[in-house]
């Protein structure tokens, strides 16, 4: 009895014919064994390092930057109120100038000198009012741009906060010389706001926030 006989019931069953190896599909790189192929048509996102102390960039604004943003909006509200007040005083000075022109008839008349002084005061007060309103607009723009702003917003905020801190220190020293508590509290708050606005974009978390990739 031969085990090679195909009719032998006790022999080994016939082996199925082996399939030839699949031919590679041209146009697509073949992944090595054990490594799952990556999906084609979708670019792989690179891994970006985070700021010191973290592995990835923060998806939300750091807390110190959020505080600085709130302070910018508070400062803008104060500047708007101050600008409107000075604009109203300038309007009063202009009314005084117009009234003096109505009473004065010659250059030697005392009302003429009063009119000239009122005109100068009106111009100065109007300039202060426009300056405050312009700074209020800048404060609002910087606060809004914190969410999407890049290095330009960061540098402008640092310079703006530093200048505000200097102005607050000048007012604080003047308040200390006067000895009035009311003349110290407001400049002290202004200095505190200015320091936080200056430091928030400089600390590592703030620097990483403004340098994060944008898609």
Secondary structure (DSSP) of 3-20: TT-TT-TTSPPPPPPPPP
pLDDT of residue 95: 80
In this prediction, what percent of the chain has a pLDDT beyond 90?
42
Q: In the chain, where are the structural domains located?
A: 63-210
Averaged confidence pLDDT in the chain? 77
- Mean pLDDT computed over 81-85: 95
pLDDT of residue 19: 56
pLDDT digits (tens, 9 = 90+) for 44-80: 444 444 444 444 555 788 999 999 999 999 999 999 9
pLDDT of residue 118: 73
CA count, 13 A, side-chain hemisphere, 120: 5
Alpha-carbon distance 134 to 130, whole Å? 6
Residue pair 11/3 in contact by the 8 Å Cβ criterion: yes
């Amino acid at each position: 009895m031969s085990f090679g006989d195909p009719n032998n019931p006790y022999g080994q069953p016939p082996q199925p014919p082996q399939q030839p190896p699949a031919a590679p599909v041209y146009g697509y790189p073949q992944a090595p064994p054990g490594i799952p192929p990556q999906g084609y048509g979708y670019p792989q996102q690179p891994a970006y390092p985070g700021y010191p102390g973290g592995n990835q960039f923060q998806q939300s604004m750091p807390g110190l930057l959020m505080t600085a943003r709130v302070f910018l909006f508070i400062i803008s509200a104060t500047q708007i109120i101050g600008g409107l007040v000075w604009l109203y005083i300038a309007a009063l000075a202009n009314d005084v100038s117009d009234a003096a022109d109505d009473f004065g008839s010659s250059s030697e008349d005392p009302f003429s000198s009063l009119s000239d002084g009122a005109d100068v005061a009106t111009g100065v007060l109007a300039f202060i009012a426009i300056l405050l309103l312009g700074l209020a607009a800048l404060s609002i723009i910087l606060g809004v741009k914190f969410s999407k702003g890049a290095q330009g917003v960061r540098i402008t905020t640092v310079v703006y906060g530093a200048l505000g801190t200097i102005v607050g220190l000048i007012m604080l020293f003047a308040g200390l010389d006067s000895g009035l508590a009311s003349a110290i509290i407001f400049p002290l708050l202004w200095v505190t706001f200015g320091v936080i606005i200056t430091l928030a974009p400089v600390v590592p978390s703030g620097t990483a926030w403004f340098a994060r990739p944008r898609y």
